[in-house]
Amino acid sequence: MPSFFRRNVEAMEGYVPGEQPRDADSVVKLNTNENPYPPSRAVGEALSSFDASMLRLYPDPMCRAFREAAAEAHGVSPENIIVGNGSDDILTIATRSFVPEGGLIAKVSPSYTLYRTLAEIQGAACLDIPLEEDFSLPFDAAESAEGASLFFLPRPNAPTGTAFAKDAVRGLCERFDGVVLIDEAYAAFADDDCLDLPFEYPNAIVSRTLSKSHSLAGARLGYAIATEEMVAGMMKVKDSYNVNALTQALATAAIKDGAWLEENVRNIRGNRAALSAALSGMGFDVVESAANFVLASPPDGGAKALYERLKSDGIFVRWFDEDRVRRFVRITVGTEKEIESLLSALRRVYG
């Protein structure tokens, strides 16, 4: 039987998301960078006051209420914001907006593997630009990426957790001919962000998600901040009703609660410091993190064995079978109690 699929789709493997164990309650889940704390109380209130009968109507295709709230939170205009069904949707919209079939996407390496999958789905090539030894951005990244239409740059980067120097990001925006999509999925936990860059460089787009920063991975809401022209063009590419009505209501409540965000980030950063220090104390090689996870290499270098050992203890972390990070495990910053469970298990192994 002939395949009906495009050749690029036929050939690709498909993205493999981190494991989602069915019985999430009985495991310590530190593998997919979820926020360990429940979302703002305002989210629960928006949920319980939502009238189920309204679900019969289509949601607002323009996500006006959320865009107004997000614009207020970031000091930009609603016209600078496009909303997606998670930031995966934003990344897909950007790919379809800027990259033709047969085109080229640039990404750094090691980085988020989904970027390559997005290129494969689009039928585009994907160029890996190796990071420096210390996971910093090479000074000639723009030149290396010549010919690409789109450069995916996560800041903080995953799975390294490092934040590229902002001047290096500026240099990339300045010198790269295509669009630079700065993926700020983890920026809430970093010392600074790049939300000002789209207003300095018209080829810069910053994407955000409420998944990690607002404990709303299950609700699926991401957004991008860019010039009005960029937003207007990407609006043509998105599915009309791409964000459901419940998520719009919950996300709007969440982003308005700035006090919750501040406290949550303080807690995560505190736990991150404690986790990093404890790991270093056990002889782990710990990469300094600006995100809500820590990349750490065990003293014996046996990261895969450690990942498996922890999994059999009911503790899920992530291990990537990939050059440069094979000797590390990536550990999401959990609650104090989850970190204690992890450290106990590690003490049993490393004494």
Stretch that binds its own copies, among 3-11, 139-147, 296-304, 330-338 (CB under 8 A): 3-11
Q: Taking a C-beta distance cutoff of 8 angstroms, is the pair 124, 16 a contact?
A: no
Rg of the chain, C-alpha, whole Å: 20
Number of other CB atoms surrounding residue 294 within 10 Å: 26
Going by the DSSP 8-state scheme, the letter that residue 24 receives in this structure is: G
Q: How far apart are CA 207 and CA 179, in angstroms?
A: 13
Closest to its own copies by CB, 311 or 327: 311
Q: Distance of alpha carbon 251 from its chain centroid, rounded?
A: 17
> In this chain, which stretch among 73-81, 115-123, 138-146, 301-309 interacts with its own copies, using CB under 8 A?
115-123
| Among 48-56, 167-175, 265-273, 274-282, the segment contacting its own copies (CB under 8 A) | 48-56
Q: How far is the CB of 350 from its own copies (least distance, A)?
A: 29
Residue selected from 20, 77, 280, 344 as contacting its own copies according to rule CB under 8 A: 20
Rank residues 247 and 276 by Cβ distance to its own copies and give the closer one: 247
Distance of alpha carbon 165 from alpha carbon 146, whole angstroms: 21
Confirm if 141 and 172 have CB atoms less than 8 A apart: yes
Residues numbered 117-176 forming contacts with its own copies, rule: CB under 8 A:
121-123, 149
Strand 329-332 and strand 293-297: the pairing is antiparallel
C-beta of 182 vs 279, nearer to its own copies:
182
Q: Look at residues 11, 40, 31 and name the one whose alpha carbon lies nearest to residue 258.
A: 40
Residue 53 binds its own copies, judged by CB under 8 A: yes
Residue among 28, 30, 35, 325 that touches its own copies (CB under 8 A)? 35
- Interface with its own copies (CB under 8 A), residue from 63, 67, 80, 92: 92
Q: Which of 142, 145, 187, 230 is close enough to bind its own copies by CB under 8 A?
A: 230
By beta-carbon proximity to its own copies, the closer residue of 45 and 132 is: 45
Least spacing, CB of residue 280 vs its own copies, in Å: 28
Is the CB of 27 or the CB of 274 nearer to its own copies? 27
Report the SS3 class of residue 264. helix
CA 136 from centre of chain: 18
Count, residues near its own copies per rule CB under 8 A: 81
Does position 281 interact with its own copies (CB under 8 A)? The reply is no
**Whole-angstrom distance, CA of residue 32 vs CA of residue 9:** 26
Query: Is 292 a binder of its own copies (CB under 8 A)?
Result: no
Residue 294's nearest CA partner among 228, 338, 230, 250 is 338
Cβ nearer to its own copies, comparing 104 with 303: 104
Return the number of the residue (272 or 279) whose C-beta is nearest its own copies: 272
Among 14-22, 152-160, 186-194, 324-332, the segment contacting its own copies (CB under 8 A)? 14-22
Label residues 32-55 b or e (16+ Cβ within 10 Å = b): bbbbbeebbebbeebeeeeeeeee
Residue 34 contacts its own copies per CB under 8 A: yes
